[in-house]
Amino acid sequence: PGQRLKALILKVEKTTKGPEIILSRSYPKFVSKLFELEVPEISQGQVEIKSIAREPGSRTKIAVFSKEKGIDAIGATVGQRGMRVQAVIEELGGEKIDIIEYSEDPEKYIANSLSPAKVLEVKILPKNKALAIVPDDQLSLAIGKDGQNVRLAAKLTAWKIDVKSKSQVEKEMSSEENEKSS
């Protein structure tokens, strides 16, 4: 009692007992509305939230894009010393938020979406699939705990992302070459 909570109004229905208001704190649009409240560049339309992927209570990935030259979309969203993003994190009860830069180029966008892992190369495959090649020491970071990082990256980008380490790819390439030569 007495605790203040922000929530997103999903719908209002008229029932026999009066109006019924359905609220949500897990809907991805809730995160974008919190950022609109905290980041003036988003509410003024200079920075646009292109996509949000969320697993409520644990992690959110958000892709931002600056419509104006000279405005750093990620910097504006994070704020000085992380003040803006910290306010959103507190409202979400400590949920981790990854802010990545949106790109029209799918290879760059997919590489960005797998952050904090460093991606060496992204190969676009047929049927909306992509292969991300990462350094051997970055494989577990790219995949994330229980596959969460790659799952959120796939949701964010709308691509099916397969992550492999550089040594895995090299081993597959050499075994394919051995099969061709025999």
The dihedrals phi and psi of 58, each to the nearest 5 degrees, come to: -125, -55
Report the pLDDT value the prediction gives residue 182, as an integer from 0 to 100: 58
Residue that has been written with the tokens 């008229």 in this structure = 14
For residue 32, give Cα distances in angstroms to 35, 51, 113, 170: 5, 9, 17, 41
Tokens standing for residue 66 = 């600056």
Q: What percent of the chain has pLDDT over 90?
A: 35
- Better-predicted residue by pLDDT, 153 or 179: 153
Task: Write the burial class of residue 141 (CB in 10 Å: 0-12 exposed, 13-18 middle, 19+ buried).
Answer: middle
Mean pLDDT of the residues in the chain: 88
pLDDT recorded at residue 93: 87
Reply yes or no on whether the pLDDT at 139 is more than 90: no
Main-chain dihedrals φ then ψ at residue 111, nearest 5 degrees = -60, -45
pLDDT of residue 50: 92
The tens digit of pLDDT for each residue in 46-103 reads 999 999 999 988 999 999 999 888 888 899 999 899 899 999 999 888 889 999 999 8
Contact between 66 and 47 under an 8 Å Cβ cutoff? The reply is yes
Statement: the pTM of the whole predicted model exceeds 0.85? no
What token pair was written down for 42? 């988003």
Task: Assign 20 a pLDDT band (cuts: 50, 70, 90).
Answer: very high
Check residue 3 and give its pLDDT: 84
Return the pLDDT at 54. 92
